[in-house]
Amino acid sequence: MRKIKNILVTGGAGFIGSNFIHYLFNDTEFDGRIINADKLTYAGNLENLTEINKKHEGKRYFFEKADICDYNAIELLFRKYDIDTVIHFAAESHVDRSIHGPRDFIETNINGTFCLLENARAFWGDRDDVLFHHISTDEVFGSLGETGFFYETTPYDPRSPYSASKASSDHLVRAYNHTYNLPVTLSNCSNNYGPYQFPEKLIPVMILNIKEKKPLPVYGDGRNIRDWLYVNDHNSAAWAIINKGKTGETYNIGGENEWENIKLVNSLCEKVARFLKKDTDYYKKLITFVKDRPGHDRRYAINCDRIKSELGWKQSVDFDAGLDRTIEWYLNNQRWIDNVRSGEYKKWMEKNYSKR
């Protein structure tokens, strides 16, 4: 197996990236250095890494505030830390934001990925003991009807500015492998949930609104379907690919756990009510059907047989236990919530959601 000495984690202050850094320290044998490069947009929060920072900063963990679109800044990081592995999480990640303002999505997701690839190519030359792992989404495959699944071979059909920008970055990563022999792997994953997820995505929005007795905004008829995976299971899959995956290949990652939004929101009402020892029906009455998301993809469902059979990965957290863990985390971390809700996030929410 390739020895990883210095891994560059882009977007390591975001939801999945910060969980990945926790995962490396807590759940793996990895003993190299972790360099977290993050621009700290509204979604980047170093509070996610307070404990890691206290214990490991300057020894095995290094934070660098950097924009992945800044060629010189990234070049410096490759040299300074002698990077041999990249796991690329950094992105603008929220579909609704991409509808209101796609520019940052094009800039970070496409140009930022291009800039990282250019740097990796320049710094690594024709080395084959290095790897660029690109984190992508099932949304690049488009939308499914009532049946069927996305496979690694499913043609791309992105339908939002977010998914189009991610699809574009996937194509660039594959092109760098094909054209320049850059050692790359890719993964396309379904919806993640867990601690540290920014409260703009469905599950944290609902948990917090239930707790605060606010309306629970369900888009359209609530019958859209998503496949949910606990964030650590995404990270264990990415780590398996980095260590055992075949260069140049793509792996689908999923929860095999499809839920209609409305059913999930009802289940969250029941669960949070149980935690707070309150009446479930009161919370369910807060459910409010609101104007649909433009171009709202109907159903996502991932076939992840490949990573299971070839790399021996499987999901380890079932949805019931994972949701309980997540609800408990949001109920017990009010300070994190207050901090994250101030600043840029708050301003954006006020501007875009006050009219609903």
Residues that bind ligand NAD (CB under 6 A): 10-11, 13-17, 38-41, 43-44, 67-69, 89-93, 108, 112, 135, 137, 166, 189, 191-192, 198
Residue 149 parent element (H or E) = none
If residue 10 lies in a helix (H) or strand (E), which one and from where to where? Answer: strand 6-10
Q: Which 112-151 residues touch ligand TDX, going by CB under 6 A?
A: 137, 139
In angstroms, what is the minimal distance from the CB of 204 to ligand TDX?
9
CB of 41 to ligand NAD, least distance (A): 4
**Which of 159, 201, 244, 308 touches ligand TDX (CB under 6 A)?**
201
Q: With CB cut-offs between 5 and 8 Å by kind, which of ligand NAD, ligand TDX, none does residue 331 bind?
A: none
Q: What are phi and psi of 22, to 5 degrees?
A: -60, -45
- Residue 224 binds ligand TDX (CB under 6 A): yes
In the Cβ-directed half-sphere of 235, how many Cα atoms lie within 13 Å? 23
The interface partner of residue 218, options being ligand NAD, ligand TDX, none and the CB cut-off 5 to 8 Å by kind, is ligand TDX
Q: Cα 234–111–140 angle (5° rounding)?
A: 45
Residues 6+ apart with CB under 8 A from 348: 42, 97
To ligand TDX, the closest distance from the beta carbon of 306 in angstroms equals 19
Any bridge partners for residue 355, and if so which?
none
- Told to check if 299 binds ligand TDX by CB under 6 A, we report no
15 binds, among ligand NAD, ligand TDX, none (CB under 5 to 8 A by kind): ligand NAD
Q: Are 83 and 74 in contact (CB under 8 A)?
A: no
Q: 74 is in the binding site of which of ligand TDX, ligand NAD, none (Cβ under 5 to 8 A by kind)?
A: none
Residue 41 in contact with ligand TDX, rule: CB under 6 A? no
From candidates 7, 35, 69, 202, binder to ligand TDX by CB under 6 A:
202
226 contacts ligand TDX (rule: CB under 6 A): yes
Q: Are 91 and 109 in contact (CB under 8 A)?
A: yes
Q: What are the tokens at 150?
A: 């996305």
Closest CB to ligand NAD among residues 177, 197: 197
Element (H, E) at 278: none
What does 11 interact with, of ligand TDX, ligand NAD, none (CB < 5 to 8 A by kind)? ligand NAD
Residue 95 binds which entry of ligand NAD, ligand TDX, none, CB below 5-8 Å type-dependent: ligand TDX
Cβ proximity to ligand NAD: between 62 and 283 the closer is: 62
Q: Give the whole-angstrom CA distance, residue 19 versus residue 40.
A: 16
Which CA distances in Å does 10 have to 1, 18, 40, 41, 344?
A: 23, 10, 11, 13, 21
254 binds ligand TDX (CB under 6 A): no
Q: Among residues 92 and 283, whose Cβ is nearest to ligand NAD?
A: 92
Give the contacts of 187 (CB within 8 A, at least 6 positions apart): 133, 134, 135, 136, 237, 238, 241, 250, 251, 252, 253, 307
The residue among 41 and 137 lying less far from ligand TDX, judged by its C-beta, is 137
CB of 216 to ligand NAD, least distance (A): 19
Question: Annotated catalytic sites, by residue?
Answer: 138-139, 162
Q: Is 95 in the site for ligand TDX (CB under 6 A)?
A: yes
Which of 56, 60, 94, 325 binds ligand TDX (CB under 6 A)? It is: 94
Residue 245: name the closest of 134, 88, 120 by CA.
134
Contact in structure between 86 and 116 (CB atoms under 8 Å) = yes
**Intra-chain end-to-end CA distance of the chain, in Å:** 53
Q: Which residues bind ligand TDX (CB under 6 A)?
A: 93-95, 137, 139, 191, 201-202, 205, 217-219, 224, 226, 261, 293
